[in-house]
Structure 1
Amino acid sequence: MLFESQRNQSATNPKQIKPEKKRELHEAAIDCIITDGRSFGDFRRLGMSKFLNVICPGYRGPGRKTVRHRLGILYHEYRQQLGEVLASIPAIAITVDIWTKKKKSFICLTGHAFNKKFESIPVVLGFRRFTGSHESENIKKYILYELQRLNIQDKVCGIVGDNGSDIKKAINEIKPGERFSCTAHNINLVVKNGLGLWEKTKKK
């Protein structure tokens, strides 16, 4: 004799998913996390778990450890591919940018090159949280670290940055090729100041 709850439990046993299908769904979920900037545990939340069980009975999304492990693998694969690409090009121009969002600062170094067919090759050379003050010395250390780690310090033909005094000073001290001011940033400043859209200083 079974209680009603036991009968319901036996009637709703999760459907088994084939390993290859589970891997496919996990890959799609992790790609979603990367693309949308979701937290690592999003696919284990109660609402998301219920939704996944409706569209694919028996499937349970990847947990934090699975996502973290997979991202580590993807990162090392990307770095290996990046090294192969950079080894095949004679010269590269780079762009450095720093921005702050929700009191957190980030710095990104991107590269721009051409292959033998003159096809554009845009690559992310480095991206990380930028802690400490935005002084030229800290910016310079980061740029040099990434260039030396990728062994492209002698391939840089030019570098683009905004007109911030610290970035300008860092670039001029490194001299990794000619420095260019960011045209988009300059146009933004011209329009902003021309229309009187500058931020008003708060009265003390």
Structure 2
Amino acid sequence: MLFASQNNDNSTIQVPLLTSERRQELHDGLPFALTSDLRRSSQRVHYISLTGHIFTNTYETVPAVLGCLRIIDRNVSTNIERYITFDLNRLQIKPEQITSITTRVCM
């Protein structure tokens, strides 16, 4: 689910509107922070997610899920870096837009 809001009260009708709005905010060059979370399911499957926290012109932050991927290889730092770089390139995000990157491992 790309760019879906993290609020649980969104219906499937609202998600496409949020998708377009979030994508436009990223391409408008607004600054944002990234968080990357690594998690392991009860079946011992590892996942990595990337969330952008967009700073609006009114100084509010708006979370946007940028991507989520199952990790097949070991989740060492090079794989984390590769995934983040891949998603940023895929979404055509400029490096100067990123204010910080925080990675959290929950295993």
TM-score, scaled to structure 2 = 0.70
Give the CA deviation at 1:157.
1.2
Structure 2 partner of 1:96: 36
Task: Tell me, yes or no, if structure 1 residue 159 matches structure 2 residue 101.
Answer: yes
Give the CA deviation at 1:78.
5.9
Q: Which SS does the other structure have where 2:84 is aligned?
A: helix
Structure 2 partner of 1:131: 72
Gaps of 5+ in 1: 1-34, 36-70, 165-184, 186-204
Higher strand proportion: 2
Please tell me whether the aligned partners of residues 95 and 111 of structure 1 are also in contact (alpha carbons under 8 angstroms): yes
Please tell me whether the aligned partners of residues 110 and 124 of structure 1 are also in contact (alpha carbons under 8 angstroms): yes
Structure 2 counterpart of 1:121, from 36, 41, 62: 62
Q: Which SS does the other structure have where 1:152 is aligned?
A: coil
Give the CA deviation at 1:113.
2.0
Higher helix proportion: 1
Alignment of 1:15-94 (within 5 A): 79-94=19-34
Q: Which SS does the other structure have where 1:134 is aligned?
A: coil
Number of positions where the alignment pairs a residue of Structure 1 with one of Structure 2: 93
Cα RMSD for the two superposed structures: 2.6
TM-score, scaled to structure 1 = 0.40
Structure 2 partner of 1:110: 51
Identity %: 28
- Bigger CA radius of gyration: 1
Q: Give the direction of change, closer, same or farther, for the CA distance of 1:81–1:140 in structure 2 (3 Å limit).
A: same
AA in 2 matched with 1:150: L
Equivalent-residue separation in structure 2 for 1:131 and 1:81 (angstroms): 32
Equivalent-residue separation in structure 1 for 2:18 and 2:70 (angstroms): 19
Equivalent-residue separation in structure 1 for 2:20 and 2:28 (angstroms): 13
Equivalent-residue separation in structure 2 for 1:142 and 1:78 (angstroms): 24
AA in 2 matched with 1:140: E
Equivalent-residue separation in structure 1 for 2:100 and 2:48 (angstroms): 18
